Structure 1
Amino acid sequence: MKDVQLYYEVYGEGEPIIFTHGASWDHQQWRPQVGHLSQWYKVIVWDVRGHGKSSLPAGKVDSEDLVKDLVDLIEYLDIGRVHLCGLSMGGHISLQAAIHNPERVKSLILIGTPYTNTYNWYEKLFVPINRFSSRFIPMSLLARIQARTLSTFNKDNKVYIQSVVSAMSLNDWVRLWAAISRMESGDQLAEVKCPTLILQGDHDHMIKRQQADLAHQLANARLITIKDAHHATNLDNATDVNEAIIMHLKSREWTTKVEDDSISEE
């Protein structure tokens, strides 16, 4: 972390779990999880470089730097093997950490997480267009679009999302999105051996097909659909997300593959 200053917060005691937020958001995304889970676990939230209170060094952003930051944070805190939970970008960063540093990761909790940006013809066409057009969309407009779209199930999302997204500079966002939208893990999923919980909002259609495929490809994964939730899944239905996370963390049946007929809601 020599070239970047990372902001983090630690709550509670017990087994450590690090939460990584979605693109253009920050550590405050995890307030409902911090308040509940810190009763039994050491809960760590942080801001990915370029987000929130973390710095963004000059020059091209490499997605590998985002993963290295997470691993460096684990080492800096000296907390041994940890559970990693992330939403969207944060989930992909956590997944990459498990691929490249499996000795550091006890288990994964992936919420609305893509493992590729080229899953089908739509993504192969849309993602490059979106990457290019992001240069011309003011952050204030992006903030309003996100806030309106992702506050259907929890009206409180609107204020948070609009505030956090609009606080980021357009230049930083363009640089970050160029890296985030090129993250690829499709040919490395076999490297992930740790127990993995995949949570999918029932109204989050952005990467829904990827979630089922990800659960199928990982060696030890369970897929659960969270009702009444869009892409801001942990904010839309915090109660069910918290319950699923606790069940996962308490589980000791991690050594066998969960078969399709035992997957909730699928």
Structure 2
Amino acid sequence: MPVYEVNNVKLFYKINGSGEPIIFTHGHSMYHKQWEPQVNELSNDYQTIVWDVRGHGYSSLPSGKVDPEDFSRDLISLLDYLEIQSTVLCGLSMGGHISIQTAIRYPERVKGLILIGTPFTNTFNWFEKYTTSISKFSLRLLPFNMTAKWTADVISKINPENHAFVMESFSKMTKDNFLRHWSGNLRMESKNDLNNIQCPTMILHGEKDNMVGRQQQYLTANIKDAEFYTITNAHHLTNRDNPEDVTDHIQNFMKRLK
């Protein structure tokens, strides 16, 4: 199992194919297998690299408070370890936000951004400020298996196969790691830095994804020349709900970068 150690953490990664690299970063509570539909197709033409964010999948999580700045540091460390000078980053949800922050903090390392169902703040409006506080409190009280089942139920309405995948992803986390990482995730903030992104950017949003829909117009308007596309018949786990359309958009984006 390919693992590298950096910043006091063991991080899992996996490489398929060859050619221009694309780094895929999963959403919170998920792990690298989220990207199987894209890896299976895109590895024919590109080098696809997936990894598990600290505290997820096969990656460890050090004790103590989680610093969200470590997420982008870990990603850059992966690029250094693999000797990749500049690449395209593709992320969904939290993985998209990690990709955003990497492009902001390390612009010379990011050739392009593909953002799927991506938030850039947890304080966008009164609704988010309210629900963020509620979630931190309620998730501590709920049994972890209930949190997993509720999440799986919500994001498997379009693709029932997502249910087993989400339950599998949660099974690789402890409740303590989940809560500590979720607290760090909620402290990620990029609203005032979006205009610093200079690389070509494509934004994809599932038409039925009501989790981050309210942020997508602002995200598109505040990243220079960002492209926006709606993915039909897709909820928040957009890349698995409609894998064909998402993969086609990624392929077209990569061709436009050449």
Deviation at 1:23, TM superposition (A): 0.2
Instruction: Quote how far apart the aligned CAs of 1:166 are.
Output: 3.2
Alpha-carbon RMSD = 1.0
Counterpart for residue 12 of structure 1? 17
Call closer, same or farther: CA 1:232–1:65 in 2, change over 3 Å: same
For 1:76, give the aligned amino acid.
Answer: Y
Is there any run of 5+ residues in structure 1 with no aligned partner, and where? Answer: 254-266
Opposite residue 180 of structure 2, the aligned amino acid is R
- In the TM superposition, structure 1's runs of 4+ consecutive aligned residues that sit over 2 Å from their partners are none
TM-score normalised by the chain length of structure 2: 0.96
Cα distance in 1 for partners of 2:154, 2:115 equals 21
Cα-to-partner distance string for 1:118-150 (whole Å, 9 max, x where unaligned): 001100111111112221122211111111111
Partners of 1:74 and 1:80 within 8 A in 2: yes
Tell me the matched-pair count.
253
Tell me whether 1:156 sits opposite 2:169 in the alignment: no
Q: Which residue of 2 aligns with 1:264?
A: none
Residue 2 of structure 1, CA deviation = 3.8
Match of 2:117 among 105, 109, 112: 112
The answer on whether the counterparts of 1:194 and 1:220 sit within 8 Å (CA) in structure 2 is no
Alpha carbons 2:148, 2:170 under 8 Å: kept = yes
What fraction of aligned residue pairs are identical, expressed as a percent?
A: 50
Contact (CA 8 Å) 1:105, 1:194: kept in 2 or not? Answer: yes
Q: Could you tell me the TM-score, scaled by structure 1's length?
A: 0.93
Amino acid at match of 1:84: L
Q: Distance in 1 between matches of 2:249 and 2:70?
A: 30
**Residue aligning to 2:229:** 224
Is the CA contact 2:102–2:110 (under 8 Å) kept in the aligned structure 1?
yes
CA contact (8 A) 2:7 2:74 kept: no
Offset at 1:164?
1.2
Of residues 65, 71, 74, the one that matches 2:76 is 71
Q: Distance in 2 between matches of 1:117 and 1:76?
A: 31
AA of the residue aligned to 1:56: L
User: 1:205 aligns to what?
Assistant: 210
